[in-house]
Amino acid sequence: MDNGFLLAAAAPHFDLLLMVDTNLRYQQNLQGRAIAILLIPQNLELVELHREDFLAAVNSIQPGEYRELRW
């Protein structure tokens, strides 16, 4: 599924979309979207190691916001 279709399909059903595609913000117009997008590292071990930061980001991200987590 391409990113544009994924965003359109997810938006009515979810508040947050977790992504690993670092090119998303360059490939899609993210303005005006209600769904929040959180870019996480492809290495899920990093997410586990930084669990507190990950959970803080998930709990604080706002609708329509795009945020990248980099460790």
- List 18's β-bridge partners, or say none: 38
What local confidence, expressed as pLDDT, does residue 48 receive? 96
In sequence order, what E strands does the chain have? 16-19, 36-39, 66-68
Return the SS3 of 28.
coil
pLDDT (tens digit, 9 = 90+) per residue, 5-48? Answer: 999 999 999 999 999 999 988 889 888 899 999 999 999 999 99
Which residues are within 8 A (CB) of 65 and not within 5 positions of it... i.e. 6 or more apart? 36, 37
- Residues 34-63: what's their mean pLDDT? 96
Q: Could you tell me the residue ranges of all domains in the chain? A: 3-68
Q: Which residue has the tokens 């980001």?
A: 57
What local confidence, expressed as pLDDT, does residue 29 receive? 87
